[in-house]
Amino acid sequence: MAEFDVDLFVIGGGSGGVRAARIAANYGAKVMVAEEYRMGGTCVIRGCVPKKLFVIGSHVHQEIEDAAGFGWSIGQVSFDWATLVANKDKEIARLERAYTTNVEKSGATIVKTRAVLEDAHTLRLATGEKVTAKYILIATGGAPNHGPAVPGIEHVISSNEAFHLKELPKRIVIQGGGYIALEFAGIFAGYGSDVTVVYRGDNILRGFDEDVRKHVRTEMEKHGITIITGCTVAKVDKHGHDFTAHLSGGSSIAADQVMFAIGRHPNVANLGLETAGVAINPANGGIQVDGWSKTSVDNIYAVGDVTHRTNLTPVAIREGHAFADTVFGKRPVQVDHATIPTAVFSQPEVGTVGLTEEEARAQYSHVDIYKTDFRPIKATMSGRDTRVLMKLVVDASSDRVLGCHIVGDCAAEITQAVAIAVKMKATKADFDATVALHPTASEELVTMRTPTARHVRQAAE
């Protein structure tokens, strides 16, 4: 008789948990996955996928406006929010079925219920059943964080609810200055909403390169989005179907919806972590793990947003795969969390990989900056007032390209390709030796020859 019911029990059917389950099952492990909501997790159900679909749709009005400069005469157009939401729901349902099918095809079993740890090897399902497992993987992800409770917090929506609104708000106040806040600001503005972004910091996109932060803000404001920084929403009043957001600076804004997008917290509550002896990282509130994604308990691992390391879907997938390779494939693999490309699907779009100028100057004594800010070819005929930013951060001592930052159309697509070069430690000479692909915006990355700034850190005497 087997010592345990299963070799691996995965809590959470999102990107990281699903990848780990499939790879472990492919290695011959007996695997069970518990998901209490919907297979696919944050990314597929209420994150990157529906968000990107909404972003794509919100671009259409701009394409219609730009068409006149190219000779197109487009008559009266209309937009129906309910149709958008319904079609998005169909696509998400299709993806959920695909996730479920792929897990089952691998030989793993899915149980649609909550699972709680009773000890290091035992889980209790909400059905009352108990399951024992040799290894346990926690991949429960994260959830929107509304921050300190303010009066009227019950009237505030998060990104979760934004995907299911019955109608498009004519006016919306969005608190936050990161990925989610700016992406939804662009989405709602694109569909015709009057959008105000409120952020407590000095400028949006904290942690990104300073030039990127300034450029994105300027472009968003050109699009008619109001951005108020150094301020927070202190109170929300409801009047019938309308709301008033009272700001910490004393002013107030009338709106049909108030949305908070001020960060996410790891889903660690009520999982039985304390009972099983799984430690929480005091620095970030996520499950504490080592470089192998192992927790403080030898047979329990955690991947993805629940660890609060790098909260990106491809990172969770890579961590889940590495865990399965290491534990069940006997092929030890550690995930390299350096030089991870990322994108903000704001409008304009941001793509970035590697170090910011500020980070490079703190780590390297000689840093060269190559930067260009230009009007894209499409705008020369559409007449749109928009500019593209491209920036390379280079270690002047070794000529290695340390970072690439792009703001403009297709920034994410370009950055994915550039990330390969940055990961391979390509030099500026390698970029310069690459023939330009003309006419494209990205050719600027291989034609910038003269540094726009050179920084030399003086050695301490």
Exposed, middle or buried, 83 (CB in 10 Å: 0-12/13-18/19+)?
exposed
Class of domain 348-455: alpha beta
Burial 300-310 (b: 16+ CB within 10 A, else e): bbbbbbbbbbb
Q: In residues, how long is the chain? A: 461
Q: Check if the beta carbon of residue 233 is closer than 8 Å to that of residue 258.
A: yes
pLDDT (tens digit, 9 = 90+) per residue, 166-191?
A: 999 999 999 999 999 999 999 999 99
Q: How far apart are CA 16 and CA 382, in angstroms?
A: 43
Dihedral angle of Cα 59, 315, 197, 284, to the nearest 10 degrees = 170
Say which residues have a Cβ less than 8 Å from residue 72's Cβ, sequence separation at least 6: none
Could you list the pLDDT tens digit for every one of the 461 residues in the chain?
579 999 999 999 999 999 999 999 999 999 999 999 999 988 888 899 999 999 999 999 999 999 999 999 999 999 999 999 999 999 999 999 999 999 999 999 999 999 999 999 999 999 999 999 999 999 999 988 887 889 999 999 999 999 999 999 999 999 999 999 999 999 999 999 999 999 999 999 999 999 999 999 999 999 999 999 999 999 999 998 899 999 998 999 999 999 999 988 999 999 999 999 999 999 999 999 999 999 999 999 999 999 999 999 999 999 999 999 999 999 999 999 999 999 999 999 999 999 999 999 999 999 999 999 999 999 999 999 999 999 999 999 999 999 999 999 999 999 999 999 999 999 999 999 999 999 999 999 999 999 999 999 875 44
Where exactly does CATH 3.50.50.60 map onto the chain?
6-144+265-327, 153-262
Q: 156, 148, 213: which is closest to 182 by C-alpha?
A: 213
> Is 265 among the residues known to form the active site?
no
Residue partners of 425: CB distance under 8 A and separation at least 6: 400
pLDDT digits (tens, 9 = 90+) for 303-336: 999 999 999 999 999 999 999 999 999 999 999 9
- Taking the C-alpha atoms of residue 52 and residue 113, their distance in angstroms, rounded to an integer, is 29
Q: Which of 155, 321, 337, 438 is catalytic?
A: 438
Distance between CA atoms of residues 353 and 376, nearest Å: 22
Q: Which CATH class name applies to 153-262?
A: alpha beta
Q: Which residues of the chain form CATH 3.30.390.30?
A: 348-455
CATH number for the domain whose boundaries are 6-144+265-327: 3.50.50.60
- Whole-angstrom Cα distance, residue 90 to residue 414? 29
Backbone Cα Rg of the chain: 24
